Chain A
Amino acid sequence: MAEAAIPVQATPAQEQAPPGAIERPDFEIVPRAGLPIVAVILGLLIAGIATNKPWPLQFLHIVGGATWTVIDLFLGFVIGPILGRLSVPARIELTTRLMPKMVLIMPTAVIVTLAAGWQLGVKLGTVQSSYVLHGWLVASYIVVGVMAVIALGLLEPANIAVLTELKKKRPNPEVIERLMKRFVYSAGITGLMQIATFVIMTRIAAG
């Protein structure tokens, strides 16, 4: 794997690196190997909506939702705080390996959860305003809406921008730091919103 050097202040952990530089693994901003997997998942989503059967829709909605929720919580409350305390080289190592995967996983998980969930709601009649727990459904729309605006406006752009910065011949550590902070704080907020999702979804499931 090709590597490049980023000029930053050396730490004791970088004894083997050239003075004033750290090693940076080569990586793809969008991992091309993952694209066929995304295509298959989106194909399953289209098939699920087309057949309109409860089991495939439940499967897609629950698996997609679990993936989305767990990743948001894990990033926001576990990885995020850890990332902030790592040395710069370790942070770059983790970032270049983790964040390209997020570029594919998160939008896929979100679209599968929402599209399958909507279709399921239409089929079961739970999206109708006459549904007894309609207020909770509307609350879930609002929570998802807030998460979507944060994810699309802050999280996703920061993710792509930090990876693009790391791809440059001479990445600017200050830019990376700033974008990573934005990513971690946004992930924390969406993590908190996911707790609200838990409350709403368990209430709806309880009937």
Chain B
Amino acid sequence: MHGTLPYTTEIRPDTGLTNPKLGIWLFLASEVMLFGSLFSSYALLRSAAAAWPDQSAVLSVPLATLNTIILITSSATMVLSLVGIRAQRFDRFRLHMGLTLALGAAFLVVKVFEYADKFAHGLVPATDNFLGLYFTMTGVHALHVLIGMVVNAYLLWPGARMWRTEPQRFTNRVEVAGIYWHFVDVVWIFLFPVLYLL
């Protein structure tokens, strides 16, 4: 039945889109509203707070900088994996997608160390609203990284069979996964200054 659905792989001429591409952009629009609501809550709570801790003194800016570099690099490797698959070079796709996956894992490992360090110092979500927001917002973001990694791992291993049967559709899937991954990256680009630097 899915084979009969038009525009799953080919572009509809009058809209210039494939279904999955429109779908992922709509999904990201709702994600913008989700993170937008969280950022708005942060702004409202902080602006109304009687006292707000010095954020960069509570959190580790070096670790967050490291994580920023990791995530931006992973976006670059994600692009390279798409370039590879478009050039019909499955080996390059596999290399760069593998790197993306590894960098995503590295990001989460750093995050775990950061969290563990906070807990070890008795800094928990209940401590104050800044830490509450820090754990909530980075937690929701980390969940998104994790979901992205699951998608990437799927494309790397079980989903890669599609490359042999429907190469164009597989390429589109890599592109769509990339759009999501870049979005998760962009969210972090906002989280980093707002939570660590401001």
Whether chain B is bound by chain A comes out as no
Interface residues, chain B, CB within 8 Å of chain A?
none
Interface residues, chain A, CB within 8 Å of chain B?
none
